[in-house]
């Protein structure tokens, strides 16, 4: 503390002249809403990990049935009920083709004279589980994405019209939604599945028949919130048409909520598809989804746990990754959380 | 308030009439005869059987008869599975086990979830927080039937701690199904309470309580927890839905003589009157739960304006 501040050498400090031209300069590059959202999403390790994981699952679902040497529906009765066996990993003591037979642990591949390796084992009819699981994943994902997309389109259009035009239109449309959303989803889905021929299309229709109400409510709420704000008034004063206001001014603001909502519809649809298959209302053989595979596996749980475990594991991974991505997106896109 | 409840009851009634009508006509246009062995009967025999169930009458008559019975709590009679037995009795007989596992699952899941959520919020970013968040995300993601089969395999078949299935050992039989149903409420409550608590813990009155020298546990329980608990009522609706959906598969897996198991069996054997009765029963249950939740929320938190109006 003995330093004498008054004896500081000359030139230690530069005088900065006040420059009025620089006052308005933006020193950092301006970030758009989406860049900002992406920056926040990147910080969320769980979400990024889930996006990568889900990407891998999609790649496997598309490639799995192709790279497997066996067709998903080819039956080889002599190779029935084989546990998983994967080269290299088998040396670690797992996935080595050892299963229980009459209370004893034996290498079932040796016992049945099987030279090939079934990576995920085989089911009761000797079908290759590896190609079946990935084929099933394809079907499950297709149903979920199709259902979510249809929900989104109907919900956005319905909610958008209801919110934007308001008044009498809104009143009537909202009464309809109120009644429709009072009907339990479960009941509607089951009833619709019963009157239609079981199949992928039937499941998609059943899932979307009341599924869109949630989306329409959210979109309506957002449109109501934004349509009376100044920027919309400004656009209208400048002579923008309804069409332009909806697409150019409202849509970008509502888009975040639509994405978040869709991200939570997808795991819901995957769950419902699996659920329907599990109670026997889902796809019929030989079509297979993760749900039907789990249902088949459940019947053999005590003797061949792998037939249940593998599709159940894949299904759980998809559900977990989607929930994490949805959480991450919600945090990233919700402007209230902006730091 | 009374006006709000009245309005909601009115919508509820319309929804129910719609569901009942919809279900009734759906059952009529379904392919196949409601009588299981119709193919093996001669046309005369079939006519006699149909007449005995009143199926020969014109459709509008059947419809109004059904709706009139509905008002009096009469859901018709079973045709295939329990020949001639009243559906109302069948459902009432099976309510017990379903209600028990549903209630136990809900109670256990919610209490444990609240505990997890509270600990996670108070010890934010600790390992406890991460563990409870992980449990919550797994609980929300893994379908109850997967969880139920895992429980059955490990706890009942491998370790033999609990009965594998059936409803014969009283409380012990109800443990595993309740646990399977508890996962979703547990996860939902944990997530919800955690985020609510964190929000509440950051508010001014908590700072004041701290400044006054209240201890950590006192703040957590007395000040924060109470306020975080109220919004939990809003997720009771989704929880009830999940318990009901879950009960269909969980009862199937554990062979529990409940309503869910009955519903699935009726679909398999195509007993239309039981399907209709159960559908209406489920709808009434869910709609009532949602109504009660909405009203309760308004009563507990007066800041929520219930009295109609547009949002």
* A186-237 tens-digit pLDDT: 778 888 887 777 788 888 988 888 888 888 988 888 888 888 888 888 988 9
Is the per-residue pLDDT at A91 higher than 70? no
What pLDDT does A52 receive?
93
Name the closest residue on chain B to residue A264, using Cα atoms.
B141
Residues B125-158 have pLDDT tens digits of 888 888 888 888 888 888 888 888 888 888 877 7
Is the per-residue pLDDT at B307 higher than 60? no
Residues A140-199 have pLDDT tens digits of 999 999 999 999 999 999 998 888 888 888 888 888 887 777 777 777 888 888 777 778
Residue B133 · residue B121 · CB < 8 Å: no
Q: Which residues of B touch A (CB under 8 A)?
A: 11-12, 14-15, 18-19, 22-23, 26, 29-31, 137-138, 140-143, 145-146, 149-150, 152-153, 157, 241, 244-245, 248-249, 252-253, 264, 267-268, 275, 279, 282-283, 286-287, 290, 311
Residues B159-200 have pLDDT tens digits of 877 777 777 777 777 888 898 899 889 998 998 888 888 888
Higher pLDDT, B310 or A94: A94
Q: Of the segments A311-320, B21-30, B282-291, B299-308, which one has the largest average pLDDT value?
A: A311-320
Query: Closest approach of chain A CAs to the CA of B284, in angstroms?
Result: 9
Mean pLDDT calculated for residue range B235-254: 84
Query: Closest approach of chain A CAs to the CA of B141, in angstroms?
Result: 5
What pLDDT does A146 receive?
94
Contacts of A9 (CB under 8 A, 6+ apart): none
**Given an 8 Å threshold on Cβ–Cβ distance, is A274 in contact with B30?**
no
Burial of B257 (0-12, 13-18, 19+ CB in 10 A): middle
What pLDDT does A99 receive?
67
Query: Closest approach of chain B CAs to the CA of A259, in angstroms?
Result: 19
What pLDDT does A217 receive?
87
Name the closest residue on chain B to residue A218, using Cα atoms.
B311
Higher pLDDT, A335 or B268: B268
ipTM over 0.85: no
Name the closest residue on chain A to residue B279, using Cα atoms.
A187
Q: Which residues in chain B have their CB less than 8 angstroms from residue A322's CB? A: 141
What pLDDT does A110 receive?
67
> Token pair of B307, please?
């009295």
Residues A256-307 have pLDDT tens digits of 888 888 888 898 888 888 888 887 787 877 778 888 888 888 877 777 777 7
| Nearest beta carbon to residue B138 from set A182, A221, A320 | A320
What pLDDT does B219 receive?
79
| Nearest beta carbon to residue B249 from set A179, A279, A308 | A279
Contact map slice: A 270-289 vs B, CB within 8 A: 271, 274-275, 278-281
What are the residues facing A128 on neighbouring strands?
Answer: A122
Q: Does A186 touch chain B (CB under 8 A)?
A: yes
Is the per-residue pLDDT at B108 higher than 90? yes
Q: Does A319 touch chain B (CB under 8 A)?
A: yes
Q: Which residues in chain B have their CB less than 8 angstroms from residue A280's CB? A: 264, 267-268
What pLDDT does B37 receive?
65
What pLDDT does B306 receive?
46
Residues A63-88 have pLDDT tens digits of 877 777 777 777 776 766 677 776 66
Which of A40-44, A53-57, B37-41, B142-146 bottoms out in mean pLDDT, i.e. has the lowest? B37-41
Q: Which residues in chain B have their CB less than 8 angstroms from residue A185's CB? A: 241
> Token pair of A279, please?
């109670």
Place of tokens 């923008």: A240
Burial of A188 (0-12, 13-18, 19+ CB in 10 A): buried
Is the per-residue pLDDT at B308 higher than 50? no
**Given an 8 Å threshold on Cβ–Cβ distance, is A279 in contact with B267?**
yes
Band (pLDDT 50/70/90 cuts) for residue A336 is: low
What pLDDT does B142 receive?
86
Contacts of A200 (CB under 8 A, 6+ apart): A139, A142, A143, A283, A287
Band (pLDDT 50/70/90 cuts) for residue B309 is: very low
**Percent of chain B scored above 70 by pLDDT?**
94
DSSP states of chain B: -HHHHHHHHHHHHHHHHHHHHHHHHHHHHSSS-SSTTGGGS-HHHHHHHHHHTTTTS-HHHHHHHHHHHHHTT---B-SSSSTT-BHHHHHHHHHHHHHHHHHHHHHHHHHHHHHHHHHHHHTTTSHHHHHHHHHHHHHHHS-HHHHHHHHIIIIIIIS--S-SSSS-STHHHHHHHHHHHHHHHHHHHHHHHHHHHHHHHTSHHHHHHHHTT--HHHIIIIIIIHHHHGGGGGGHHHHHHHHHHHHHHHHHHTT--SHHHHHHHHHHHT-HHHHHHHHHHHHHHHHHHHHHHHHHHHHH-TTS--S----
């Amino acid at each position: 503390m003995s330093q004498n501040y008054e004896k500081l050498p000359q030139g230690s400090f530069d005088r900065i002249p006040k420059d009025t031209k620089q006052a308005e300069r933006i020193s950092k590059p301006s970030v758009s809403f989406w860049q900002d959202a992406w920056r926040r999403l990147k910080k969320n390790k769980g979400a990024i990990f889930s996006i990568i994981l889900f990407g891998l699952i999609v790649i496997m679902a598309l490639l799995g049935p192709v790279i497997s040497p066996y067709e998903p529906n080819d039956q080889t009765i002599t190779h029935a009920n084989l546990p998983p066996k994967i080269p290299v990993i088998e040396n670690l003591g797992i996935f080595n083709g050892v299963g229980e037979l009459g209370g004893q642990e034996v290498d079932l591949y040796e016992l049945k004279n099987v030279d090939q390796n079934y990576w995920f084992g085989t089911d009761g009819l000797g079908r290759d589980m590896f190609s079946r699981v990935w084929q099933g994943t394809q079907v499950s994902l297709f149903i979920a994405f199709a259902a979510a997309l249809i929900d989104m389109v109907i919900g956005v259009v319905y909610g958008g019209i209801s919110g934007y035009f308001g008044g009498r239109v809104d009143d009537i449309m909202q009464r309809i939604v109120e009644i429709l959303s009072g009907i339990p989803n479960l009941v509607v889905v089951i009833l619709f599945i019963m009157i239609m021929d079981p199949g992928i299309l039937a499941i998609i229709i059943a899932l979307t028949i009341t599924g869109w109400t949630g989306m329409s409510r959210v979109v309506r709420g957002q449109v109501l919130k934004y349509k009376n704000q100044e920027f919309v008034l400004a656009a209208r004063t400048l002579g923008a048409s309804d069409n332009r206001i909806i697409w150019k001014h409202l849509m970008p603001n509502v888009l975040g909520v639509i994405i978040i909502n869709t991200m939570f519809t997808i795991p819901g649809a995957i769950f419902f598809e699996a659920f329907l298959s599990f109670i026997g209302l889902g796809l019929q053989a030989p079509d297979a989804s993760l749900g039907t595979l789990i249902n088949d596996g459940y019947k053999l749980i005590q003797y061949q746990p792998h037939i249940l475990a593998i599709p159940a594991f894949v299904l759980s991974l998809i559900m977990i990754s989607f929930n994490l991505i949805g959480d991450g997106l919600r945090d990233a896109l919700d402007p209230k959380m902006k730091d | 308030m009374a006006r709000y409840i009245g309005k909601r009851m009115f919508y509820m009634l319309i929804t129910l009439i719609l569901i009942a009508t919809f279900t009734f006509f759906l059952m009529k246009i379904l392919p196949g005869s409601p009588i299981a062995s119709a193919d093996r009967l001669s046309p005369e025999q079939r006519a006699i059987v149909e007449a005995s169930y009143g199926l020969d009458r014109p459709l509008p008559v059947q419809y109004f008869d059904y709706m009139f019975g509905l008002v009096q709590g009469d859901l018709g009679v079973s045709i295939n599975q329990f020949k001639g037995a009243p559906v109302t009795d069948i459902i009432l007989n099976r309510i017990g086990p379903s209600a028990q596992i549903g209630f136990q699952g809900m109670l256990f899941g919610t209490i444990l979830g609240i505990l997890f959520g509270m600990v996670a919020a108070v010890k934010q970013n600790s390992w406890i927080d991460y563990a409870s968040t992980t449990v919550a995300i797994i609980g929300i993601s893994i379908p109850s039937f997967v969880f139920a089969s895992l429980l059955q395999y490990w706890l009942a078949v491998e370790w033999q701690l609990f009965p594998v299935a059936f409803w014969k050992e009283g409380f012990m039989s109800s443990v595993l199904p309740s646990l399977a149903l508890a996962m979703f409420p547990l996860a939902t409550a944990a997530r919800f309470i955690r985020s609510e608590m964190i929000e509440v813990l950051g508010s001014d009155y908590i700072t004041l309580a701290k400044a006054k020298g209240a201890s950590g546990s006192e703040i957590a329980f007395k000040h924060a927890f109470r306020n975080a608990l109220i919004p939990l009522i809003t997720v009771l609706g989704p929880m009830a839905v999940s318990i009901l959906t879950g009960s269909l598969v969980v009862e199937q897996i554990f062979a529990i003589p409940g309503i869910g198991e009955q519903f699935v069996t009726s679909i398999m054997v195509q007993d239309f009157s039981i399907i209709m009765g159960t559908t209406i029963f489920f709808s009434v249950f869910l709609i009532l739960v949602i109504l009660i939740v909405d009203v309760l929320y308004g009563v507990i938190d007066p800041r929520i304006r219930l009295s109609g109006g547009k949002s």
